[in-house]
Amino acid sequence: MSQVRQYELIYIVPPDTTEEVLADVHQQIAVVAERFGATIEKTENWGRRRLAYEISRHREGVYVLELINGPGAMTAELDRRLRVLDAVMRHLIVRVDEELGVAERSLTRRKAAMGARRVRRGLPPEPTEAERHRRDTEREDDMDGGMESGFRGREDR
Amino acid sequence: MSGDFDKERGGGGRGGRSGDKDKKDEKGGGRRTFFRRRRVCKFCVEKIDYIGYKDVKLLAPFIPERGKIQPRRISGVCATHQRALQTAIKRARALALIPYTTD
């Protein structure tokens, strides 16, 4: 029994990688995914980015993100394949459906709670444009204060 | 992590932290002394539900120059979000988005 889950796969290739090699890597991933009955939801190329530290004497790398819907057994195979590939400097597979689901649920819960509160006060459930604007400006002031004090805190440690 | 510290703070409410070393002023109920800052969890206040490892801008304020993860006793992040923040930072490090150390 295999459940379909959502995974994020990020891999980094050296900045001097040619388009063909990049396409080949993608193709290999697609083949593995297909074998497990998975679908690649989207592919995102972040382009060349500075690395925070050197990886095999490279200071820059090209980041590629793939969003894959597939079974858990697939990740092990992908992991194994990517480790063997010389073109890939580094990769990471993370399961995201759970975390994003939690985030979404708490967002809807909060919205519902806010709507209920507003109705109890005799207001429409959704805030009007004017209210939203006022709240945003207030929050900006608040954030400035918070940041300042945070900085002070670091110094007096 | 010291559990005692957390308990102590829980009782004090959300007021400023009365310094551990500072003498407590009984008149102010121990709250007023050395008001340092209002420490609130950034993620609770801004209602950020998902702390993603790809969002370097979001994580950056919690990584001081040295590259270590800022303890929540300094940043004021709540336990739930500190945990999420921790995994996000560690993932970002693995991908060289954030340094492990800087010297």
pLDDT of B71 reads 93
List, for residues B20-63, the tens digit of each pLDDT value. 444 444 444 555 556 666 678 888 888 888 888 999 999 999 99
Taking a C-beta distance cutoff of 8 angstroms, is the pair B40, B76 a contact? Answer: yes
Contact A12 B95 (CB under 8 A): yes
pLDDT reported for residue B31 = 54
State the nearest Cα–Cα gap between A154 and chain B, in angstroms: 7
CB contact under 8 A, B96 and A51: yes
Instruction: Determine the Cα–Cα distance for residues A67 and A87; give it in Å rounded to an integer.
Output: 20
The C-alpha angle with vertex B90 and arms to B84 and B91, in degrees rounded to 5, equals 90
Q: What is the mean pLDDT of residues A149-156?
A: 42
pLDDT value at position A50?
A: 92
B100 contact residues in A (CB cutoff 8 A): 52-53
What does the radius of gyration of chain B's CA atoms come to, in whole angstroms?
16
> Is residue A132 predicted with pLDDT exceeding 80?
no
What per-residue confidence (pLDDT) applies to B53? 92
What's at A154, amino acid-wise?
R
Whole-number pLDDT of residue B24 = 44
Q: Which residue of B has its CA nearest to A12?
A: B95
Judge whether residue A4 has pLDDT over 50. yes
B89/B21: higher pLDDT: B89
| Structure token digits, residue B35 | 């008001």
Which H/E stretch holds residue A155?
Answer: helix A129-155
Task: Residue B50: list chain A partners with CB under 8 A.
Answer: 99-100, 102-103
- Minimal Cα distance from A140: which residue of B? B46
DSSP A102: H
pLDDT in tens, A80-89: 999 999 999 9
- Tokens read off for A38: 């998975």
Distance CA B26, CA A29 (A): 66
- The residue behind tokens 């407590």 is B24
**Cβ-nearest to A99 among B37, B50, B76:** B50
Q: And the tokens for A40? A: 């690649």
- Integer distance in angstroms from the first to the last C-alpha of chain B? 26
Q: What percent of chain B has a predicted confidence (pLDDT) above 90?
A: 40
Which residues, at least 6 apart from A114, have a Cβ–Cβ distance to it below 8 Å? A125
B residues 41-70 closer than 8 Å to A (CB): 42, 45-47, 49-50, 53-54, 61, 64
Tell me phi and psi for residue B78, to 5 degrees. -75, 165
For residue A103, list chain B residues with Cβ-Cβ distance below 8 A. 49-50
Give B13-36 as a 3 state SS string: CCCCCCCCCCCCCCCCCCCCCCCC
Q: What is the pTM of this model?
A: 0.69
Let me know if B9 is exposed, middle or buried by CB neighbors in 10 A (0-12, 13-18, 19+). middle
Q: How many CA atoms lie within 13 A of A8 on its CB side?
A: 17
Confidence check: pLDDT of B19 > 50: no
